[in-house]
């Protein structure tokens, strides 16, 4: 299970680097998110990843941090199933309308989060 946390951490870091180097990628991801029920597919994947993080936290050095990240991920993705799709798409539109500096901030936050997760393993 620790391998899952490491792989997910590396994926989060690579995602952050990609967002910083190519901000247009985030715009394309947000456009894809608007199509059909993809929002719910992504939420389902996040719920599964969060549950796996919570299970894997027992084997990590800094257990509380990985448990916290898993719980927040699961809770956040679970809420997506409870609110209306229109509200979710309004939030997606809001993120899409932010300036490029906000995109850089999101990429940097992803890199920091991924790094902290790797250090917690």
Whether the Cβ atoms of residue 5 and residue 55 lie closer than 8 Å to each other: no
Structural domain of residue 85, as residue ranges? 2-120
Backbone angles phi, psi at 21, to 5 degrees: -75, -35
Q: What is the pLDDT of residues 82-120, one digit of tens each?
A: 988 888 888 888 988 889 899 899 999 999 999 999 999
pLDDT at site 40 = 87
Is the pLDDT at 23 greater than 90? The verdict is no
The number of folded domains in the chain is: 1
pLDDT at site 32 = 85
- DSSP class per residue in 37-51: THHHHHHHHHHHHHH
Helices and strands, number each (H, E), in the chain: 6, 0
Whether the Cβ atoms of residue 6 and residue 119 lie closer than 8 Å to each other: no
pLDDT at site 36 = 79
pLDDT at site 25 = 86
Q: What is the pLDDT of residues 46-87, one digit of tens each?
A: 999 999 999 999 999 999 999 999 999 999 999 988 988 888
């Amino acid at each position: 299970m620790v391998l899952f946390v490491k792989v997910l951490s590396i994926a989060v870091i690579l995602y952050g680097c990609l967002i910083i180097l190519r901000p247009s990628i985030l715009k394309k991801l947000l456009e894809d998110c608007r199509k059909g029920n993809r929002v719910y597919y992504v939420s389902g994947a996040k719920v599964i990843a969060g549950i796996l993080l919570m299970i894997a936290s027992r084997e990590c050095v800094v257990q509380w941090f990985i448990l916290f990240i898993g719980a927040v991920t699961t809770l956040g993705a679970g809420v997506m199933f409870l609110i209306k799709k229109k509200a979710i798409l309004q939030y997606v539109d809001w993120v899409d309308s932010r300036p490029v500096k906000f995109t850089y901030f999101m990429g940097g936050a992803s890199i920091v989060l991924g790094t902290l997760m790797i250090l917690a393993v």
